[in-house]
């Protein structure tokens, strides 16, 4: 079991309240996923040439005492850039004005235990072990602002309970995926992707789905085509919720083994595994509430 | 104490269910209204007396499960397994119902005004299900006894491995499951559909329905069939 939540605000005035509206959604899914939680929030995108990278130091010996300022100085000195770094305990967002690959290579080489959570112009990503309430408080999820987000509460079945195996998973830039369910062919998908130069960071089944779909998008498929290929390539039980810089997308396996419910008003689209995570939302009594059909694509634009 | 209200935003669910089991079973209350269900699981499960329960809003998993004699109404939608294993009485969902509605029911009447998800009436052992909208795939899988009336469409593999349950469908059937077949409607079938629609408070012409029942080819092992049915 796991819990999924997603929220996209249509009214720009609600963007500063995105996190505040979402926290009860995430906490509402605690029974479905008490061991880890995570969240990707999509903000106003940075300039075309700029990138931000979310980093996690919880798997380093220093943990939350990681020397983020020192990392910022070292990056600037070695790469000749002016990186901005916003640390928060075991998490930091590094913003740079260059292509992200040299930066990521340098980090992997010099700080192999630092985990790169996400890369892009719009995405900030947080995930850690602990109850959804603890993780939300650790990073101040209630203060997050943005146009849309994807969240997850985990009850691990397919791989160990570690921060890097928590969801959301990311691949490429400004793409993330959360999963409720279990895939039956993740190793087959991996073996198909690895010869394309796609590198895996964990043994988690969800990572295979995430990297497969991002690979299709990078190969030029639009989201709908990529999802259609996902239906054909990915076997098992799943409700997937994906975020891109300007979209939320949801699919369920043909047997609809894992739940999902959607509530839509003029102001927002909210998605959760169960209605109990939507019950607190403003004007929910007048929302259109429906259950997404299996093997259908649902895409909402921010 | 004829009527009692529970606000689940204020009162723990266990208090409501304990009250229904204790006070309603002792005949001390006739009607119970439940507000702010907010998707909670297991609301009004295991009732065993003729009490009326109205759940105002959306119910979570297994609402009205194992019901005996009670009449339970959900004004919103119901989550997975509404009225599962119902023995008798009535459960009425005014919105849509998620997967496994009426799973393993033995008796009583389940009415769903909206659509039902996948596997509606799976392993039905008796009783009746009337769905105002459509049902998802694998509905009535291995249904052994009882009747289902579907006023909308049915998904894939309707009535797969049916035993003696009979299904009536007004709309399109995407596909029939193994050993399920469409049969001619008789006068008795028209009367059955009319009676069930009347009981559910729905108005349709019984002549618009198709009858789906078991071809009974799977009843006996056929070694020559080579798993092809």
Which pLDDT band holds residue B39 (cuts at 50, 70, 90)?
A: very high
pLDDT at residue number B220? 84
Q: Are the Cβ atoms of A275 and B58 closer than 8 angstroms?
A: yes
First to last CA, chain A: 28
Tell me the CB-side half-sphere exposure of residue A88, using CA atoms within 13 A: 19
C-alpha closest to that of A288 among B91, B39, B63, B77: B77
B40, B60, B96 ranked by CB distance to A291: nearest: B96
One DSSP character per residue, A148-201 reads EEEEEEE--SSS---GGGSS-EE-SSSEEEEEEEEES-HHHHHHHHGGGTPPPS
Q: Are the Cβ atoms of A294 and B76 closer than 8 angstroms?
A: no
Give the distance from CA A204 to its chain's centroid: 15
Encode pLDDT of A6-51 as tens digits.
Answer: 999 999 999 999 999 999 999 999 999 999 999 999 999 999 999 9
- If contacts are CB pairs under 8 Å, which of residues 237-256 in chain A contact chain B? 254-256
pLDDT at residue number A158? 82
Give the tokens for residue B87. 């023995």
Q: Answer whether A30 touches B (CB < 8 Å).
A: no
Cα distances from B2 to residues B10, B29, B52, in angstroms, run 21, 5, 10
Give the separation between CA B67 and CA B40, rounded to whole angstroms: 17
Total domain count, chain B? 1
Which chain A residue shows the shortest CA-CA distance from B75? A285
Parent domain of B201: 99-225
Q: Answer whether A295 touches B (CB < 8 Å).
A: no
Cα distances from B158 to residues A80, B136, B147, B221, B225, in angstroms, run 66, 9, 13, 22, 22
Contact B42, B62 (CB under 8 A): yes
Which chain A residue shows the shortest CA-CA distance from B116? A291
In the predicted structure, residue B228 carries a pLDDT above the cut 80: no
Please tell me the distance in Å from B188's CA to the nearest CA on chain A: 35
Give the separation between CA A174 and CA A112, rounded to whole angstroms: 22
pLDDT at residue number B64? 98
Question: Considering only CB atoms, which chain B residues are within 8 Å of A181?
Answer: none
Residues of chain A with pLDDT under 70: none
B40, B95, B136 ranked by CB distance to A276: nearest: B40
Which chain A residue shows the shortest CA-CA distance from B134? A293
Is B42 within the bounds of a domain? no
C-alpha closest to that of A172 among A6, A47, A51: A51
> A interface mutation test: which of B37, B112, B137 has the most A CBs within 10 A?
B137
A163, A177, A32, B74: CA torsion to nearest 10: 160
Is B24 within the bounds of a domain? no
> A interface mutation test: which of B76, B99, B100, B113 has the most A CBs within 10 A?
B99
Please tell me the distance in Å from A249's CA to the nearest CA on chain B: 21
Which chain B residue shows the shortest CA-CA distance from A254? B137
Q: What is the DSSP letter of A33?
A: -
Largest Cα–Cα separation, chain B: 66
Q: Say how many CB pairs under 8 Å bridge A and B.
A: 49
Encode pLDDT of B135-148 as tens digits.
Answer: 999 999 999 999 99
Give the separation between CA B146 and CA A9, rounded to whole angstroms: 46
Largest Cα–Cα separation, chain A: 56
Encode pLDDT of B95-134 as tens digits.
Answer: 999 999 999 999 999 999 999 999 999 999 999 999 999 9
Q: Are the Cβ atoms of B38 and A279 closer than 8 angstroms?
A: yes
Domain limits of chain A?
Answer: 2-45+122-301, 49-121
Is B203 within the bounds of a domain? yes
Which chain B residue shows the shortest CA-CA distance from A289? B77
Phi then psi dihedrals of residue A286, to 5 deg: -105, 5
Contact B60, B32 (CB under 8 A): no
Q: HEC states along chain B?
A: CCEEEEECCCCCHHHHHHHHHHHHCCCCCCEEEEECCCCCCCCCCCCCCCCEEEEECCECCCCCCCCCCCEEEECCCECCCCCCCCCCCEEEECCCECCCCCCCCCCCEEEECCCECCCCCCCCEEEEEEECCCECCCCCCCCCEEEEEECCCECCCECCCCCCCEEEECCCECCECCCEEEECCCHHHHHHHHHHHHHHCCCCCHHHCEEEEECCHHHCCCHHHCCCC
Give the separation between CA A251 and CA A258, rounded to whole angstroms: 10
Q: Are the Cβ atoms of A275 and B96 closer than 8 angstroms?
A: no
Give the 3-state secondary structure of residue A20.
helix
Is B192 within the bounds of a domain? yes
Give the 3-state secondary structure of residue A261.
strand
Query: Chain B residues with CB-CB distance to A under 8 A?
Result: 36, 38-40, 57-58, 60-61, 76-77, 79-80, 95-96, 98-99, 117-118, 136-138
Locate the DSSP E strands across chain A.
2-9, 36-42, 51-56, 84-88, 91-96, 115-120, 123-129, 148-154, 169-170, 175-183, 236-244, 247-252, 261-264, 268-272, 288-290, 298-301
Q: Are the Cβ atoms of B118 and A279 closer than 8 angstroms?
A: no
Question: Considering only CB atoms, which chain A residues are within 8 Å of B61?
Answer: 274
Give the 3-state secondary structure of residue A232.
helix
**Among 3.40.50.300, 3.40.190.10, 3.30.70.100, 3.90.190.20, what is the CATH number of A49-121?**
3.30.70.100
Q: Answer whether A275 touches B (CB < 8 Å).
A: yes
pLDDT at residue number B229? 61
Highest CATH level, class, for A2-45+122-301 = alpha beta
- Angle subtended by helix axes A132-139 and A18-28, to nearest 10: 160
Give the tokens for residue B59. 């119910």
The strand pairing partners of A51, in sequence order, are A96
Phi then psi dihedrals of residue B207, to 5 deg: -70, -15
Q: What is the DSSP letter of A146?
A: -
Give the tokens for residue B50. 């003729």
Give the tokens for residue B74. 């959900």
**Residue recorded with tokens 């299900």:** B129
Q: Is A257 a catalytic residue?
A: no
pLDDT at residue number B1? 65
Which pLDDT band holds residue B222 (cuts at 50, 70, 90)?
A: confident
pLDDT at residue number A237? 96
Give the separation between CA A115 and CA A217, rounded to whole angstroms: 24
Encode pLDDT of A124-140 as tens digits.
Answer: 999 999 999 999 999 99
Encode pLDDT of B21-38 as tens digits.
Answer: 999 999 999 999 999 999
Average pLDDT for B170-177: 98
Is B206 within the bounds of a domain? yes
- pTM for the predicted model, two decimal places: 0.95
Q: Which is it for strands A36-42 and A2-9: parallel, antiparallel or unpaired?
A: unpaired
pLDDT at residue number B2? 86
Q: Which is it for strands B90-93 and B71-74: parallel, antiparallel or unpaired?
A: parallel
- If contacts are CB pairs under 8 Å, which of residues 50-109 in chain A contact chain B? none
Please tell me the distance in Å from A13's CA to the nearest CA on chain B: 26
Contact A291, A267 (CB under 8 A): no
The strand pairing partners of B92, in sequence order, are B73, B111
Is B51 within the bounds of a domain? no
Give the separation between CA A132 and CA B55, rounded to whole angstroms: 29
């Amino acid at each position: 079991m796991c819990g999924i939540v997603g929220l996209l605000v249509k009214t720009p005035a609600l963007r500063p309240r995105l996190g505040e509206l979402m926290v009860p959604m995430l906490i509402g899914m605690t029974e479905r996923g008490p061991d880890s939680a995570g969240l990707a929030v999509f903000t106003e995108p940075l300039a075309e040439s700029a990138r931000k990278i979310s980093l996690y130091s919880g798997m380093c010996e220093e943990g939350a005492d990681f020397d983020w300022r020192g990392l910022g100085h070292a990056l600037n000195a070695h790469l000749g850039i002016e990186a901005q770094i916003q640390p928060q305990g075991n998490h930091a967002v590094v913003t740079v004005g260059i292509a992200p690959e040299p930066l990521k290579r340098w980090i992997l080489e010099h700080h192999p235990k630092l985990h790169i959570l996400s890369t892009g112009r719009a995405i900030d990503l947080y995930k850690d072990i602990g109850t959804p309430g603890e993780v939300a408080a650790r990073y101040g999820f209630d203060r997050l602002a943005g146009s849309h987000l994807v969240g997850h509460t985990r009850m691990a079945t397919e791989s160990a309970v570690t921060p890097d195996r928590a969801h959301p998973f990311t691949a490429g830039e400004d793409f993330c995926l959360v999963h409720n369910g279990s895939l039956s062919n993740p190793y087959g998908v991996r073996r198909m992707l690895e010869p394309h130069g796609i590198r895996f960071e964990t043994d988690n089944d969800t990572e295979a789905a995430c990297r497969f779909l991002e690979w299709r998008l990078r190969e030029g498929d639009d989201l709908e085509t990529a999802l259609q290929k996902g239906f054909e390539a990915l076997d098992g039980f799943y409700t997937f919720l994906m975020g891109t810089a300007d979209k939320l997308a949801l699919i369920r396996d043909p047997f609809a083994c894992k739940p999902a419910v959607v509530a839509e008003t003029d102001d927002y689209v909210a998605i959760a595994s169960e209605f109990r995570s939507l019950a607190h939302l403003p004007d929910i009594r007048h929302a259109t509430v429906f259950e997404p059909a299996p093997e259908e694509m649902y895409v909402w634009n921010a | 104490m004829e009527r009692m209200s529970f606000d689940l935003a204020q009162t723990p669910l266990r208090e409501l269910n304990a009250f229904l089991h204790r006070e309603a079973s002792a005949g001390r209350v006739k009607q119970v209204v439940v507000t702010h269900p907010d998707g909670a699981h297991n609301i009004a499960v295991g009732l065993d007396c003729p009490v009326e329960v109205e759940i105002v809003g959306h119910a979570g998993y297994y609402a009205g499960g194992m019901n005996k004699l009670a009449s339970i109404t959900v004004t919103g939608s119901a989550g997975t397994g509404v009225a599962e294993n119902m023995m008798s009485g009535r459960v009425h969902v005014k919105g849509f119902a998620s997967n496994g509605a009426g799973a393993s029911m033995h008796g009583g009447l389940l009415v769903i005004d909206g659509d039902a998800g996948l596997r509606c009436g799976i392993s039905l052992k008796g009783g009746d299900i009337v769905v105002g909208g459509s049902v998802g795939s694998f509905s009535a899988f291995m249904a052994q006894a009882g009747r289902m009336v579907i006023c909308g469409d049915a998904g894939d593999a309707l009535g797969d491995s049916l035993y003696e349950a009979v299904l009536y469908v007004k709309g399109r059937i995407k596909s029939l499951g193994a050993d399920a077949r469409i049969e001619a409607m008789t006068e008795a079938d028209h009367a059955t559909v009319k009676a069930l629609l009347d009981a559910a408070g729905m108005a349709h012409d019984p002549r618009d329905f198709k009858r789906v029942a078991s071809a009974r080819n799977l009843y006996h092992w056929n070694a020559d069939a080579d798993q092809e049915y």
